[in-house]
Structure 1
Amino acid sequence: MRKSILITTLTVLLHLPLMTNGATISDGVVVAPSAVTVFEDRARVHRSISVKMSIGSKEVILKGLPHRLDPSSVRARLLDLPGLVLGVRMEREVHQEDFQKEVKDLNHQLVLVSDQLQGVESRIEEIERLKLLTQRLAKILADAVSKVGKGGILGHTSAAQIVEAQQWIADRQLEHSLQRDQLEIQMSEFQVKRDDIQGDLIPLMQGSTRTTWTAIVLIQAQEEGTGTVELAHDVPGARWVPVHEARLDEETSKVNWISRGQVIQQSGEDWNDVKLTLSTARSSLGLAPPSLIPVRIDAVERRAEPAADVSLVSRESDSSRGRPMATAASPAKKPASSLVGAEVVSGSGPIRFDVRATASIPSDGSVHLVTISEQQMDAQLDYQSIPLLSPHVFRRAKLTNGSGAPLLAGQVSCFREDSYVGDGRVERVAAGQEFSRHFGSEGRILVRKVEIEDHSGSAGSFNRKLELKRGFKITVDSVFPTAVPFELVDRIPLSTLNEIDVELGSDTTQEPVLNEDGIVRWVVSLEPGETHQFILQWIATARKDQAHLLERLR
């Protein structure tokens, strides 16, 4: 096996002219990256060098390429001068070096990350202790409430004070859950960083050698002049993910939405002042779906037996054998849209964000943020409660993506009046598409849900059917000084069985909207100082011999 990798054809090489008539071999030079495109699991690095050419062939040698590059991905081209790139040869170089300084720096980084990780773990333990304490307080309060009027510890405490205490406990429980979620995200990031540092440290401690690649580009010019040789290759250890920041201004009813790219790379070389591009192309998915091989059932007659034997045979289709697969014409790309931080180029496939300013991303595995876009969105604000899942009421903003590019799916950090309220996730939002974003809980609206009916019996005196009735009362109190828009969401069972019918009961109040998924919605205006009551009743009916199915709905 040859020590070098040839990315050219033998036919071309056999017909190359000898390098005479002024053809020279340039000395090896180290060329820094000038442009980088980052994908989900790799990066494509571009570098270029200016070369003076005379008519004929010449080798251009680029040294010091990172050891982690994929040699099969190397491509070269000649720009600004008529000519050809005849081939690229890759060679490994081993350098004897002293890595004591690098080992010391990595060990220092490892200690810092380990300390940060230990601090997060301690904080999680503290949160768990606070959660346990809050649960005990909730139980004490619940036991005390059950003994009100019977000489319990609450004495003459008013209902409003009890509700306030319950709300405080619920707020603390939500706060602890959000803090734990955030700490778990931080712990995961620190663990990845620690593993990356250990991965870099191990080879340095095992030996005192450093490996690099050298690219030898063979070019042929058709006329004299100065041309540019551009070399591109892929490197692993690089990735990017979209992250967002949403800031709600209650006074102006606007949301300032910032989209950024979180870039991490450990390719083996720093990217200093490069033209950075972030791409959503996912090479891991391949270019096309796998091909299905037809499965045919053939009757094969055997001479030794009078009957035919039917067997299952897997064969290639005759129509597909030896014929190329038809490909659809490439759709025309949409023109680039202008964003604050980047130019976006999108078509029917992947999206590319060409970052306007040059970027410097060191090969240290740390997170670097690159701004992609920033926009002001008009927000339609209201409050939403789903008491079946949470006793809290949440601030909601209905938004429209008014930029010329989609918002990519990713984590979004939410702020309300410059106060951090938590992290959530946004799914992909197309340009011009409407979507909703929540901005934390609201303590000035109290929601309570209690069951008021749970009855089963015959649907009528002479009816052979049984029915199950369940009813709930939902009470909503607002202490806002003005009226506020409010949406209350609940649900009723959804039957896919012919044996069971489920419908809203006649006692249901205020005419909610019921969709095909059984989701019930009331949209109202909460007036100040008023108590709003909502009744939700649903009725399920079934034959008497199907009573066990009704019991499953309790």
Structure 2
Amino acid sequence: MKTIPIIVISFALLFPSVLRANNDPIPVTGKIQSVTVFQKGAQVFRTGTAAIPSGKSTLVFENLPRDLNPQSLQVSGKGAFTILAVSHRINYLQDRRKNEQIHTLESKLKSLEKEKAIQDGLKQVFEAEESMLLANKAIGGAQNGVETTRLKEVADFLRKRLTEISSEKIKLQEKTRILEEEIRNIRNQLNQMGSPGRIPVSEVQIQVSAGNPQQGKLEISYMVNQAGWTPRYDIRATDIQQPIDLVYKAAVYQNTGEDWKEIPLTLSTGNPQLGGTRPKLNPWYLDFYEPVYRDMQKKSAGVQAIPMRNMSEMEEAVATAPEASTAASYTTVSEGQMQVLFEIKIPYTIPSDGQENMVEISGFSIPAIFAYHAVPKLDRDPFLQAKLTEWKKYNLLPGEMNLFFEGTYVGKSFLDTRSTGDTLELSLGRDRQIIVERTMMRDYSKKQFLGNKVTDTRSWEIRIRNNKSAPVHLVVQDQFPVSTNKEIEVSLTESSGARVNHNTGIFTWNMHLQPDESRTLRVGYEVKYPSGKNIILE
């Protein structure tokens, strides 16, 4: 009798397919190996193993993302078996796995809500007892008095018990307040993390055929939509004598329903969602427009659609346009015809919560030409500008920039690589160690009336001083008005050697200032116009 269980166990091990009821799919045990993240979407590579019986059987990858793109599925295997067919389905009977942090928060939320319900119940008990005591505080009767001793005992009891109830209610209110605050914070955190409700999962079923039982290895890849990355940059300038350090980062996010745990990432500059079919123009037929009049008597019975000539051709002509050591030390860049790939060999964990995770791609030291720019008419402070001429070879994409100068955060800017020319200009903020003052010269600014003409003269003085300990290159700009009316005549009276653009009315001075050096510039113009007319000058 003792050998029967052994025989049964051995039979189950040798012939698992016989014991599997109704040819149930065999689960594939595996994990995510790597992910290629595009600017919109991601391609997930997953491997797994399964015990494949002899003959035909069905293997299944379970708990895959709901938004898996079936058209993107690719399956391969290693072993002495043949892949016959691949299919995808949605399993509505099984919920999506929640990440550990969401699961922990939801469990804590349930515990806190249960504790609050207990506190609310205790509060109701105390309130009921309090109501009962107050309702029965009358002792004796209308005809019968109460002994003083008895009255004192009752009063002492009521006072003591009501005091205890009041004290307990205050404690319960404080506990309830703390619980409500914790519950509110957890709910806000869950809302921010996009805590899902009941969401189904995908399954990929693979039909295989094998001559002998074996342990097979399978590899699948698929595209998911709720993932992507956007470029971020840190621009750091130590001083105006050194090159600029550019740190290239990626803000990676995903909300696919499965956490990417300790996997190597590849970031692609491509975007598969844009589509790869080129637009095609169809003939655009043009004819006179003939308005269509409807019979108002027929309107009550329903309006019939009257076809317009060439409508189908016009619709076809509408074209739509698609819309310490860091990770940088472990990034390999490969450039193809259509995209650039950044392969990051350090494993990363990207939870499925939709939050951005910063991944450092690479870092560069780029030569820069520094110059200060001042427009004292609009702002007293000069702004440091850096010009980068070799930026195109670094495969940069449009994205936000964080600017730092001399170790201080300057602000944010945006790198628009699609509209920038050969030179990339960066503004690194204000520098108040260079003084620029613009004042009106009252003695040379006046208005004169001569005959039917008015002559309005304006003169300005610009004083500049370099209080820095190093020489600087400074570009100063000012302006004079440009007439758009032949009755208004504008002429320059003084420009202090500036380069003048008469089309835009811009003065430009380029100068190099030594430490503690000062300069004075003067600009002036006069405007003649008919008397009786009004114009607005500074």
What interval of TM-score do these two structures reach, taking the shorter chain for normalisation? 0.5 to 0.7
Please list the CA deviations of residues 115-167 of structure 1 after superposition, one character each: whole Å capped at 9, or x if unmatched.
xxxxxxxxxxxxxxxxxxxxxxxxxxxxxxxxxxxxxxxxxxxxxxxxxxxxx
Aligned residue number for residue 364 of structure 2? 375
8 Å contact 1:260–1:373 — kept in the other structure? yes
d(CA) in 2 for partners of 1:268, 1:536: 66
**Map 1:152-171 → 2, pairs under 5 A:** none
8 Å contact 2:329–2:362 — kept in the other structure? yes
Task: Return the match for 1:478 from 451, 466, 472.
Answer: 466
- 1:393 lines up with 2:391 in the alignment: no
d(CA) in 1 for partners of 2:105, 2:30: 25
8 Å contact 1:294–1:317 — kept in the other structure? yes
Residues 106, 547 of structure 1: alpha-carbon distance in 2 compared, 3 angstrom cutoff: farther
Aligned residue number for residue 105 of structure 1? 105
Please list the CA deviations of residues 171-230 of structure 1 after superposition, one character each: whole Å capped at 9, or x if unmatched.
xxxxxxxxxxxxxxxxxxxxxx997831656644xxxx5632211134679999977432
d(CA) in 1 for partners of 2:72, 2:245: 42
Residues 58, 380 of structure 1: alpha-carbon distance in 2 compared, 3 angstrom cutoff: same
Aligned residue number for residue 261 of structure 1? 250
Please list the CA deviations of residues 20-40 of structure 1 after superposition, one character each: whole Å capped at 9, or x if unmatched.
xxxx97611253222323344
d(CA) in 2 for partners of 1:351, 1:98: 33
d(CA) in 2 for partners of 1:240, 1:47: 20
**Map 1:106-185 → 2, pairs under 5 A:** none
Task: Return the match for 1:233 from 223, 241, 254.
Answer: 223
Deviation at 1:256, TM superposition (A): 1.4
What SS does structure 1 have at the residue aligned with 2:257?
coil
**Map 1:224-303 → 2, pairs under 5 A:** 228-236=218-226, 238-250=227-239, 252-282=241-271, 294-297=284-287
d(CA) in 1 for partners of 2:40, 2:187: 19
Please list the CA deviations of residues 517-539 of structure 1 after superposition, one character each: whole Å capped at 9, or x if unmatched.
44432110123434312223345
Aligned residue number for residue 197 of structure 1? 190
Deviation at 1:243, TM superposition (A): 1.2
Q: Which runs of 5+ in 2 are unaligned?
A: 1-16, 18-22, 110-185, 291-306, 320-327
8 Å contact 2:63–2:96 — kept in the other structure? no
Deviation at 1:385, TM superposition (A): 1.6
Residues 448, 261 of structure 1: alpha-carbon distance in 2 compared, 3 angstrom cutoff: same
Deviation at 1:444, TM superposition (A): 1.6
Aligned residue number for residue 48 of structure 2? 49
Please list the CA deviations of residues 489-522 of structure 1 after superposition, one character each: whole Å capped at 9, or x if unmatched.
3344455x46477766131112235385444321
8 Å contact 1:94–1:211 — kept in the other structure? yes
d(CA) in 2 for partners of 1:107, 1:539: 78
d(CA) in 2 for partners of 1:353, 1:43: 14
- 1:354 lines up with 2:347 in the alignment: no
> What letter is aligned with 2:494?
D
> What letter is aligned with 2:463?
T
> What letter is aligned with 2:493?
S
d(CA) in 2 for partners of 1:52, 1:421: 60
d(CA) in 1 for partners of 2:271, 2:200: 29
**Map 1:308-387 → 2, pairs under 5 A:** 313-317=309-313, 341-345=331-335, 347=337, 351-387=340-376
Aligned residue number for residue 440 of structure 2? 451
Aligned residues: CA RMSD: 4.8
d(CA) in 1 for partners of 2:401, 2:459: 38
d(CA) in 2 for partners of 1:531, 1:413: 33
> What letter is aligned with 1:486?
L
8 Å contact 1:30–1:64 — kept in the other structure? no
Aligned residue number for residue 26 of structure 2? 27
Residues 531, 359 of structure 1: alpha-carbon distance in 2 compared, 3 angstrom cutoff: same
TM-score, structure 1 normalization: 0.60
Task: Return the match for 1:527 from 514, 520, 534.
Answer: 514
TM-score, structure 2 normalization: 0.62
d(CA) in 1 for partners of 2:487, 2:248: 48
**For structure 1, which segment, 366-375 or 45-54, has the greater mean C-alpha deviation from structure 2 after superposition?**
45-54
> What letter is aligned with 2:74?
A
Deviation at 1:290, TM superposition (A): 8.6
Deviation at 1:446, TM superposition (A): 0.9
d(CA) in 2 for partners of 1:284, 1:448: 54
Residues 389, 319 of structure 1: alpha-carbon distance in 2 compared, 3 angstrom cutoff: closer
Residues 493, 428 of structure 1: alpha-carbon distance in 2 compared, 3 angstrom cutoff: farther
Residues 271, 85 of structure 1: alpha-carbon distance in 2 compared, 3 angstrom cutoff: farther
> What letter is aligned with 2:429?
G
8 Å contact 1:78–1:229 — kept in the other structure? yes
Residues 368, 502 of structure 1: alpha-carbon distance in 2 compared, 3 angstrom cutoff: farther
Aligned residue number for residue 414 of structure 2? 425
d(CA) in 1 for partners of 2:68, 2:48: 21
> What letter is aligned with 1:94?
L
Deviation at 1:80, TM superposition (A): 6.5
Residues 71, 239 of structure 1: alpha-carbon distance in 2 compared, 3 angstrom cutoff: closer
What SS does structure 2 have at the residue aligned with 1:437?
strand
Residues 88, 195 of structure 1: alpha-carbon distance in 2 compared, 3 angstrom cutoff: farther
Please list the CA deviations of residues 297-328 of structure 1 after superposition, one character each: whole Å capped at 9, or x if unmatched.
2699xxxxxxxxxx97443449979xxx9xxx
8 Å contact 2:389–2:424 — kept in the other structure? yes
Residues 537, 314 of structure 1: alpha-carbon distance in 2 compared, 3 angstrom cutoff: farther
Task: Return the match for 1:487 from 475, 478, 498.
Answer: 475
Aligned residue number for residue 296 of structure 2? none
8 Å contact 1:361–1:368 — kept in the other structure? yes
Which protein is bigger by CA-based radius of gyration?
A: 2
What is the identity percentage for the equivalent residue pairs of Structure 1 and Structure 2? Answer: 19
d(CA) in 1 for partners of 2:467, 2:316: 72
> What letter is aligned with 1:450?
T
Please list the CA deviations of residues 417-437 of structure 1 after superposition, one character each: whole Å capped at 9, or x if unmatched.
333333333322799943222
8 Å contact 2:261–2:349 — kept in the other structure? yes
d(CA) in 2 for partners of 1:245, 1:403: 17
> What letter is aligned with 1:297?
D
d(CA) in 2 for partners of 1:87, 1:384: 64
8 Å contact 1:298–1:313 — kept in the other structure? no
Q: Which runs of 5+ in 1 are unaligned?
A: 1-18, 110-192, 301-310, 326-337
d(CA) in 1 for partners of 2:244, 2:525: 39
> What letter is aligned with 2:206?
V
